[in-house]
Structure 1
Amino acid sequence: MREKEPSNHTDSPDRRFTLSKSHILRGRRNFEELFSSSSLLTSKEVNLRYRTYPNADKNVLVGFIAPKKIGNAVKRIRTKRLLREAYRLNQHIITELPEITEMGLHYVFMAKHANLTFDMAERSVTDLLKQLRSTLTSKPSPI
């Protein structure tokens, strides 16, 4: 029997790789606020739109969007599933940020096209999370 190769995501035993429903951005008002006044980070495959809230219970909420231009419902659901999984495995990059910056954070990953593979999604999500982290830690809290 072949021995299972160790995963590169589990280098720290205290990391949890779950994404609970309480961390998902929901509600029309939340999305409207996010799109009306937010900042944008881009990569080749995925956009990240985010908004910070000063001392808003220090929560991090994330959403995933696959616009209709991507294709039919099957393609959109698959794309959102890939984005969600890539985020779930790399959320440790950003989850401790509210304690450091003392601000709430809402953000949304938006796919740009349907030919998204898991490797492309994970690379884009990781890069965008690192950009977001460096952006938020380098500037003072807004508003």
Structure 2
Amino acid sequence: MSDDFSFPKARHLRHAADFDRVYSRKCRAGDQHLLIFADLSPVETTRIGLSVSKKHGNAVKRVRIKRLLREAYRLRQHDIGEGLDLILIPRVASGGGLRDYQSSLVRLTHKLRKRLSSPQTDSSVTTAEQQR
């Protein structure tokens, strides 16, 4: 793991096939700010994809949320570790800021890493669903 905080294109999840693979794994965790889908990455690095729906508002608002999510990952990538493909989906009503996204990202990825590493993964139940 390097000591820099860069976020090169190699760390972006860009292809539809990769998104489909992560979604089909059905390993997810969520809280009031984020919903994260995860799968083990076929490459060494951790890659992230973003999905911000039109429910968040116009393009300006959606792009701002994407920038915040990318920055949260960039700053906390060393806490997350390597070897995961993640899709980050912000919650509509959260109104989260950078610190909210950072703490949610680290907490939820640790939870997902445990689920993915355990032999019996019933990962279809999320934190939010358990609270209902």
**Normalised-by-shorter TM-score class:** 0.7 to 0.9
Query: Counterparts of 1:113-128 in structure 2 under 5 Å?
Result: 113=92, 115-128=95-108
- 2: distance between equivalents of 1:93 and 1:140? 23
What is the match of residue 61 of structure 1? 47
- 1: distance between equivalents of 2:15 and 2:43? 18
Q: Which has the larger radius of gyration?
A: 1
Tell me the SS of whatever aligns to 2:99: helix
Matched, 1:106 2:85: yes
What is the match of residue 89 of structure 1? 75
Q: TM-score, normalised by structure 1?
A: 0.72
- Count of residue pairs the alignment pairs up: 119
1:25 aligned to which of 13, 25, 30: 13
- 1: distance between equivalents of 2:110 and 2:99? 17
Tell me the CA shift for residue 141 of structure 1. 9.3
The answer to whether the Cα contact below 8 Å between 2:27 and 2:112 also exists between their aligned partners in 1 is no
Structure 2 spans left out of the alignment, 5+ residues: 122-132
Query: Counterparts of 1:33-44 in structure 2 under 5 Å?
Result: 33-44=21-32
- 2: distance between equivalents of 1:59 and 1:141? 24
What is the match of residue 74 of structure 1? 60
Q: TM-score, normalised by structure 2?
A: 0.77
Report % sequence identity: 32
What is the match of residue 3 of structure 1? none
More helix by share: 2
What is the match of residue 7 of structure 1? none
